[in-house]
Amino acid sequence: MVSEYSDATGGDTAALALKILVAGGFGVGKTTLVGAVSEIRPLRTEELLSEAGQSVDDTGGVDHKVTTTVAMDFGRITIRSGLSLYLFGTPGQDRFWFLWDELAQGALGAVVLADTRRLEDCFPAVDYFEHRKIPFVVAVNCFAGARAYGAHDVSRALDLERGTPVVLCDARDRDSGKEVLIRLVEYAGRVHTARLLDSVG
C-alpha cells in the first residue's frame, strides 16, 4: 500500500504506508493497543456485550469487559518520515472470523496479542497467519497479576515456527506498542526479502 503526499516545499514525495493486522483472542487488548499507538482518533466498532452472547463469549479472566469489537479497529502511526503503518484490529470472537480474510488482504504482517492467563485463545490467530504465510510477531500483553513467563516459554507453549519473534509489552503504553510494531516491520521485511531472493535464485 503506497500513497503520495506533498512535502513542505510543495513537491510530491513518495510515502510508504504499510497495512498491519492486530489479532488475538477475546479481551486480550487489541482495541487498547490500536488506541494507545494511533496518532489519529481510532475508529472503533465496539458494541456492549449482551445476554444473547453469553453462551458464545467466554469472559473468563476478563470479567470486567463490557464491550466487544464487532468489525474492526483502525488507527495510524508514523514510524519515521515517509513510513506510516495503518493498523487494523480484528474481532476476537469466532463468529466474526469471516471478516479476517478481507482484513488480511495486502497486509505486510500481523501482531498476535497473547494473554498468559488465556494463552490458548491466541492459537487460532497463530494458525491463521502460519497457514497463510503472513509474517507475525507474538506480543505478550503483561496484565497485572498474571504470572510472568519469558519469551522462550511462550514460544514453546505456542509451538511457534523457528524465528517467530515473541516480545513482552504493555498494550496501554504507546512506546511499548510502538516497539512491538517496529519489531514486526523489521521481521516482516526480512521474511519478504528472503522470499524474494528465493524466487529469483
How far, in Å, are 17, 24, 168 from residue 37 at the CA level? 16, 17, 16
Of 17 and 66, the structure prediction assigns the larger pLDDT to 17
Give CA 74 to chain center in angstroms.
11
Q: Which of 107, 91, 98 is nearest to 25 (CA)?
A: 91
**How far apart are alpha carbons 67 and 112 in whole angstroms?**
20
Residues 6+ apart with CB under 8 A from 97: 91, 124
Q: Is residue 83 part of a domain?
A: yes
**How far apart are alpha carbons 190 and 194 in whole angstroms?**
6
**How far apart are alpha carbons 15 and 80 in whole angstroms?**
10
48: how many CB neighbours lie within 10 A of its CB? 8
What average pLDDT is seen over the chain?
83
Provide the pLDDT confidence category of residue 65 given band limits of 50, 70 and 90.
Answer: very low
Q: Is residue 57 part of a domain?
A: no
Of 26 and 36, the structure prediction assigns the larger pLDDT to 36
Q: Is residue 123 part of a domain?
A: yes
According to the model, what pLDDT value does residue 58 have?
Answer: 53
Q: Is residue 105 part of a domain?
A: yes
How do residues 137-180 score in pLDDT, each as one tens digit? 999 999 887 788 999 999 999 999 999 999 999 999 999 999 99
Looking up cell 503504553 gives: 173
| CB-CB contact of 84 with 78 (8 Å) | yes
Q: Is residue 104 part of a domain?
A: yes
The domain that contains 74 carries what CATH number? Answer: 3.40.50.300
Q: Is residue 94 part of a domain?
A: yes
According to the model, what pLDDT value does residue 145 have?
Answer: 79
How do residues 71-85 score in pLDDT, each as one tens digit? 578 999 998 889 999
According to the model, what pLDDT value does residue 5 have?
Answer: 43
Percent of the chain with pLDDT over 90: 61
Q: Is residue 53 part of a domain?
A: no
Q: Is residue 54 part of a domain?
A: no
Q: Which of 164, 158, 178 is nearest to 116 (CA)?
A: 158
Gap between the terminal Cα atoms of the chain: 26
How many domains does the structure of the chain reveal?
Answer: 1
What's the one-letter identity of residue 181? L
Domain residues for 92?
Answer: 17-46+67-199
Provide the pLDDT confidence category of residue 191 given band limits of 50, 70 and 90.
Answer: very high
According to the model, what pLDDT value does residue 139 have?
Answer: 98
pTM attached to this predicted model: 0.80
| CB-CB contact of 20 with 85 (8 Å) | yes
Residues 6+ apart with CB under 8 A from 147: 116, 117
Give CA 59 to chain center in angstroms.
20
HEC sequence for 165-197? CEEEECCCCHHHHHHHHHHHHHHHHHHHHHHHH
Q: What angle do CA 195, 186, 93 make, to 5 degrees?
A: 90
